[in-house]
Amino acid sequence: MALETVSLNRSHDGMQGVYRHASRETKTAMTFSVYVPPHQAGAKLPLVWYLSGLTCTHANVTEKGEFRRACAELGLVFVAPDTSPRGEGVPGDPAGAYDFGLGAGFYVDATRPPFAQNYRMWSYVTEELPELIAQEFPVDPKRQSILGHSMGGYGALTIALRHPDRYRAASALSPIVAPSQVPWGIKALGGYLGDERAAWRKHDTVALIEDGARFSDFLVDYGDADQFLTEQLRPELLEQACSQAGIPLILRRQTGYDHSYYFVSTFMEDHMRWHAARLAR
């Protein structure tokens, strides 16, 4: 897993890097970003994973997320992978829709052709990239947490529920909490995994909780001016599922905020501090 450095920029006395490597899972070149805060030589730092939403790459949060000042203060490494495999020969949505195919991997290992060969984002994010990060960066694998936005919020919550002993904290900004019940998720899960809905449940936060998965606690923010709130996000379903399962949930409705990175950047520091408190235990 040879690592190519694409760019390095000093920020808040730490280093923001962008990197590329040949992925064994997606069989393509994959690009990701890592912010390493200032630290003493030999230190092993807590690690926060950030999963992006539809149409995004690593660059959206790297350039617009406004996380570095908090990460530098709190001593957090911040890793942002891409949202899908990219490159010539990688199958995408032939209709060019933004919510399926390129930029819309939905953090699953596709089982349906032609996507099964390359669209292995679950294994990439949960297995391959963590191996590479642990090998190349000063991180403590025993202190990891995860968050994401929109499709990435859905990814973060489902990954945490399926790996509760790996992540000390999980949060989300405007997540798709029940993809099996909303248009974005139905299209993606059906397209990648096929029509058998039982296979979808392990990639659905609400369904996982209903089926017995548990996590220590969640923090979720969404805006009441989010154009996708009613049809696609459905935060009330997560609130109901967590309540019935006894999972502590802080669910915050933020007045006047939409789905954009203006919203994400506003509450990023809150999430970094929430994660840092749990990673310090």
Q: What is the CATH number of the domain that holds 141?
A: 3.40.50.1820
How do residues 67-97 score in pLDDT, each as one tens digit? 999 999 999 999 999 999 999 889 877 677 8
Q: What one-letter code names the amino acid at 202? A: K
Give tens-digit pLDDT for 20-56: 999 999 999 999 999 999 999 999 999 999 999 999 9
What does the pLDDT look like over 94-150, one tens digit per residue?
Answer: 677 899 999 999 999 999 999 999 999 999 999 999 999 999 999 999 999 999 999
Q: Distance between CA 142 and CA 201 in Å, rounded?
A: 28
Contact 46, 276 (CB under 8 A): yes
DSSP 114: T
**CA atoms 116, 118, 124, 127: torsion sign:** positive
Query: What are the distances in angstroms from CA 99 to CA 33, 187, 210?
Result: 23, 8, 26
Strand partners, 19: 5, 32
Average pLDDT over every residue of 4-9? 98
Amino acid at position 278, single letter: R
Domain hosting 51: range is 4-279
Closest to 216 (Cα-Cα) out of 270, 279, 264? 279
Residue numbers annotated as active site: 150, 226, 259
- The confidence band for 179, taking pLDDT boundaries of 50, 70 and 90, is very high
Domain count, the chain: 1
The two tokens of residue 85 are 């495999």
Q: CA angle, corner 83, sides to 73 and 143, nearest 5?
A: 40
